[in-house]
Amino acid sequence: MNPCQRRLLPLLVSALALIGCALRACHAGAAESDPQIRLDADYPGGNILVERMDGDKIHIRQDLRDTSTWWFWWNFRVRGAAGRTLTFQFAGENPIGVLGPALSRDDGGSWSWLGAESAQGALFRYAFAPQESSVRFAFAVPYQQSDFDAFVAAHQERVTRGQLQISRLCQSRKGRPVPLIHVAEPQGEPSFRVLVTARHHACESMASFVLEGLLRAFLVDTESADWLRRHVELIAVPFVDCDGVADGDQGKNRTPRDHNRDYAGTSIYPETAAIRAMASAWVDGKLTVALDLHCPWIRGPHNDVIYMVGSSLESVASEQKMFAEILERVRTGPLVYRAADNLPFGQAWNTATNFSQGMSFARWAGELEAVKLSTTFEIPYAAAGGTPVTPENARAFGQDLAAALRVYLLRSRKPGQVHLIRQTGPCEMRAICATVFCDTSSSGVRRSRRRW
Ligand SMILES: [Zn+2]
């Protein structure tokens, strides 16, 4: 092909694409203007609308579906572009996060951030290596049912021992089984109950890695995990908006209301109705913590740090304060958490107006008898306190949450509710004892025990 033909061809395919778009609604599917390049979202979590292709520039937009406001989740695959440099231009507001797109060169097996320098406003560029036949790009690292299945498979031994059970919470509107996780020592005497939910908003994928880390803290082979399994019964719903996660929906601000505004009156989603029915009976008077894991807005103040959303219930807000202090002090993972970053009720977006469509999970759980602490965590998609958020360090934050839970539960217990740490060797919790409760000059295990 000579240079002249090379210039004319894109114009021709562009014109054809425009005619094509005029004749039918543009939708997710192949970018038909260049037969070599195939751009699609035909896999779990996929989301893209292809508008047209102008040479090496592809015009796309995220699919909002039933979202009532602008939102920013997208996740697509490009094939047939090996050796080419393409520009992906989004229509409308900029839906690219602070570290650019997340990128996978192995069909979603592993992901990395492409980097802020790859993006310019609402477009990003990518130079496909000569051997790259298929590359996925997404707003953030996706987390799908297959990731959850892999997590469970990696802990098969705990399943065999009955310490980890996966059952079905309910059936989704589209007929999918909605998984329910149960973690406890079958022979244990749980004094505490912890209820964890994630993906009330389908696109908030980073929250799922935090949930994995939290679960892992219960399933590893350590004294701390052993204690958690013996004293805490944990139930988790990993995909509250199960259909939305599978279909690649935004999930946030659905019409007429989204899953996290579905806890007042009669629930319109089977998952939220099932959580309400299950949890109300399950807490059964035992000290319960309810954690709801989310990701915030795309960028800006309150969106680039991990924080808790302050409860409008005074008693819960004071428990949040205590938990925040503990978490800040026990955290060892790379993602920083500062209690000062929490967003008290009445400030910024956290006002009654934000909940006019209905009650959130955290507010609903906070009103259950026996629930002392009910809180929403917001985990940024891309950068937290200047540190890039990755699956691994999001999992580490989940482990930090578990460490904080242990301290919080012990501190909140009623007299005689739980035995002290039973051990004969050196106290594994000494670092935490020293940090949170003990005089740092304390050197003896006995003294640490007494302080518990
Ligand atoms: Zn959310």
Q: What is the per-residue pLDDT for 415?
A: 60
Cα–ligand 1 centroid distance for 65 (angstroms): 17
- Return the pLDDT at 225: 97
> What average pLDDT does the segment 89-111 reach?
98
Query: What does the block give as tokens for 410?
Result: 């012990």
Are 118 and 155 part of one and the same domain?
no
Rounded to the nearest whole angstrom, what is the distance from the C-alpha of residue 27 to the centroid of ligand 1? 26
Amino acid at 299: R
Average pLDDT over residues 258-281: 96
* Distance from C-alpha of 240 to C-alpha of 261, rounded to nearest angstrom: 12
CA separation (Å) from 362 to 156, 283, 304, 337? 31, 15, 22, 20
CATH number for the domain spanning 329: value is: 3.40.630.10
DSSP state of 39: E
Considering the domain architecture, whether residues 239 and 361 belong to the same structural domain is answered as yes
Domain interval for residue 14: 3-138
Residue 93 per-residue DSSP state:
S
pLDDT of residue 33: 61
CA–CA distance, 65 with 144 (Å, rounded to integer): 19
Residue 260 CA to ligand 1 centre (angstroms): 7
More confident residue, 442 or 304: 304
Task: Please tell me the distance from the alpha carbon of residue 46 to that of residue 332, in angstroms, as a whole number.
Answer: 34
Quick one: pLDDT at residue 7?
39
Do 151 and 61 share a structural domain? no
pLDDT at position 432: 42
Rounded to an integer, what distance in angstroms lies between the CA atom of residue 199 and that of residue 359?
16
Q: How far apart are CA 112 and CA 67, in angstroms?
A: 28
Q: 263 CA to middle of ligand 1, Å?
A: 14
Cα–Cα–Cα angle for 356, 254, 64, rounded to 5 degrees: 140
Same domain, 121 and 40: yes
Confidence of residue 416 (pLDDT cuts 50, 70, 90): low
Percent of residues, the chain, with pLDDT higher than 70: 84
Strands 177-183 and 134-138: unpaired
pLDDT at 197: 98
| Phi, psi dihedrals of residue 281, rounded to the nearest 5° | -80, -35
Per mean pLDDT, which of 52-61, 180-189, 284-293 is the most reliable? Answer: 52-61
pLDDT confidence of residue 107 = 96
For 370-397, the pLDDT digits (tens) are 899 999 999 999 999 999 999 999 999 9
Q: Are residues 191 and 205 in the same domain?
A: yes
In which residue are the tokens 């004749």 written? 23
The pTM score is 0.87
Count of the separate structural domains present in the chain? 3
Residue 21: the pLDDT is 38
Torsion of CA 54, 47, 69, 394, to 10 degrees: -120
pLDDT of residue 284: 80
Say if residue 396 is in the same domain as residue 279. Answer: yes
Instruction: Answer yes or no: do 70 and 175 share one domain.
Output: no
Residue 330 CA to ligand 1 center (angstroms) comes to 25
Q: Is the pLDDT of residue 11 over 90?
A: no
Residue 412 has what pLDDT? Answer: 87
452 or 198, which is more confident: 198
| Alpha-carbon span 278 to 42, nearest angstrom | 34
Query: Residue 295 Cα, ligand 1 centroid: separation in angstroms?
Result: 5
Taking the centre of ligand 1 as the mean of its atom positions, its distance from the CA of residue 445, in whole angstroms, is 42
CB 376 within 8 A of CB 198: no
In the reported structure, the alpha carbon of residue 291 is separated from the centroid of ligand 1 by a whole-number distance in angstroms of 12
**Both 63 and 118 in a single domain?**
yes
- pLDDT single digits (tens) 19-48: 333 333 344 444 446 779 999 999 999 999
pLDDT exceeds 50 at position 447:
no
Q: How many CB atoms lie within 10 A of CB 113?
A: 20
